[in-house]
Amino acid sequence: MKKIITFIWIGLYLMACNNPLTSPEKINELPAIYPDYIGVTVPVGIAPMNFNYLGDYECLDIKVVGSKSGKIHLNDDKISFPDSEWKKMLQDNVGDSIVFTLSVQKKNKWIQYRSFSMYVSSYPIDYGLVYRRIAPGYEVYSKMGIYERDLSTFNERALVENTMVPGMCVNCHSFNKTNSNQMSLHIRGAHGATLMQIEGERELLNTKTDSTLSACVYPYWHPSGKYIAYSVNNTRQSFHAVKDERVEVLDLESDVLVYHPSTHQVLLSPLLKKKEVFETFPVFSPDGNKLYFCAAKQMPIPEKYKEIRYSLCSIDFDKEKGTFGNRIDTLIDAEKMKKSISFPRPSYDGKYIMFTLSDYGNFSIWHKEADLWLLNLQDGSLRTIHEVNSDNTESFHNWSSNSHWFVFSSRREDGLYTRLYLACINKEGKVSKPFLLPQKNPMNYYDKLLYSYNVPEFTNSPVKIEPRKLEREIVSNKRVQVEVRK
C-alpha cells in the first residue's frame, strides 16, 4: 500500500508544472488575462489579485517586483499569490507600483509578455462588502441571500438566506456610512418585516400604516443615526416582447418618508407624497441637512412608461426637529436631459452625488444604456464616469467611508449576470480603471456562479448577527407597529 501511495505522489509530482523559465522569447504584447487587472489601482488591504491566463499553456511563470521593494515568484499551472507575501508586497509599495512579468510555456517553448503594473493606492479601503446574491430570474424568488465578504481575504459568509423561512425574500439592506452596527433590512413574504438593528439591539417592524402606500423600502440612514429615509412604492413588474429588453419594474405610486427609530414614528411631508408625482430613492446629504430623492411626473402606465423620467431633487431637513422644508428644489432636470436618474448616492465628503442615468424609468439594472454619472456639488458640473462605464449596464453603486473608493454593479461581461467592480477616485476627481472583485480562482468562480450580485454596501467591521436566532424571530411574527407622527 505504501509503495502505491509513493508511486501516486511521484506521478503527481512529474505531472505538476515545475519547469524553470529558460531563454524565453520576449514579445511586445500584453498578456490576455482574466480578470483584466492590467493597469488597475488597488487598495493596500485587498485580497490577492489572482488571475487566469486566457489561452492554452503547459506552465506559467510570474514575477512580481515592487517599485520600492519586494519580490514574488511563482512557477505553477495557476497564478495564486500566497496571502502573506501578497499583503507584504502591497504594504511595502503603498503609493507606488508593483510590476508583473508573465511568461507562458507552450509546446515546451517559453514566451514572455510585456510587463504590466498595478498601482497601490495610499487611500485605505473598508473592511468588507455586504451584498445580495440572487438568480437573474423574475417569477420566483429562487435561492437568494445577504452575504458579507471580507475584502482582505476570499472569506464570505451568509448573514441571511431565504432558505431560513419558506417563501421569504430578503432585500433593501443598508448601513449608516459603512457602520455595521446600524443596519436596516427588508423581509418580504408571509413573515414580512423591516429588520432594524442598532448597536446590538434588534427589532422587527411593521412599517405599513394607514397613511402610507406600503412597507418601507430603499433605505438610507441619516448621518446622525437618528433617522432613516425610505420610499414606499406600489410597483408592477412588466416584461418586454423584444429580445434586447427584458423586464421593467414600474411605479404605479411612490412616496418618500423618514422614520425615527427611537419613537417608532414615521415623518411625512405633503411635498413628498404628491399623487401626481412619483418620489423614490431618498438619500441624506453628508451633513444631514438635505434629503435628496428622484421624482417623476405621473404618466399613464403602461401606455407611456417610456416617457417617465426621474429628476434629481432635494428638500431641506431639520435634523433637530425632524421636520422638512417648504419647497422642492430640482438639481438635475430629467426632461431637459431626456434621460432618467436612479440610485443617487452622495459621497461622504460632500463633494459628489453619483447616480445611474438611463433612457427612462427607474429600474435601470436591466437597461443596457445605463451608465454612472457624477454631479459635482461644489461647482454644479455634470460628467459621465467614462473611466468605468461599458457598453452594457452599470447600475447600483456605493461609496467607501473615506469617499475614495466606490463599488458598482455591471453586466459588462455577458449582459446577463451582474458582477461587482471597484474603482478609486482621487482628490482631483480622477477615476481609476475598475477591477472585478477578486476571487481565489476567478475564472472557475465566475464561470460557475449562477447568481447576480446587487446592492453592494461597504462595511467597516463584520456584521454581528446570529442566523438561527434571527430565524426564530422572523417566524414568531412578533412585530413593532410604527405610527405616523401627528
pLDDT in tens, 312-335: 999 999 999 999 999 999 999 998
d(CA 288, CA 483): 23
Q: Looking at residue 210, what DSSP letter applies? A: T
Q: Phi, psi at residue 370, to the nearest 5°?
A: -65, 130
**Looking at residue 389, what is its pLDDT?**
98
**235: pLDDT strictly greater than 70:** no
Task: Report residue 222 as a C-alpha cell.
Answer: 441619516
Q: What's the maximum distance between 2 C-alpha atoms anywhere in the chain?
A: 86
**376: pLDDT strictly greater than 50:** yes
Short-list 136, 76, 207, CA closest to 452: 136
Length of the chain in terms of residues written? 486
> Would residue 429 be called left, alpha or beta, if left means φ above 0 and alpha means ψ between -120 and 50 degrees?
left
H or E element: which one contains 91? helix 83-92
The arithmetic mean of pLDDT across residues 395-406, rounded, is 97
Find cell 406600503 and name the residue.
214
**424: pLDDT strictly greater than 80:** yes
**Looking at residue 266, what is its pLDDT?**
97
Strands 169-176 and 179-188: antiparallel
The DSSP code sequence of 10-34 is HHHHHHS------SPEE-SS---EE
pLDDT in tens, 123-153: 999 999 999 998 875 444 568 899 999 999 9
Percent of the chain with pLDDT over 70: 92
Pick 7 or 65 by higher pLDDT. 65
**CB-CB contact of 265 with 205 (8 Å):** no
User: Taking the model in full, what pTM does it have?
Assistant: 0.93
What are the Cα distances from residue 18, in Å, to 105, 127, 304? 11, 36, 64
**248: pLDDT strictly greater than 80:** no
Strand partners, 206: 481
d(CA 393, CA 221): 27
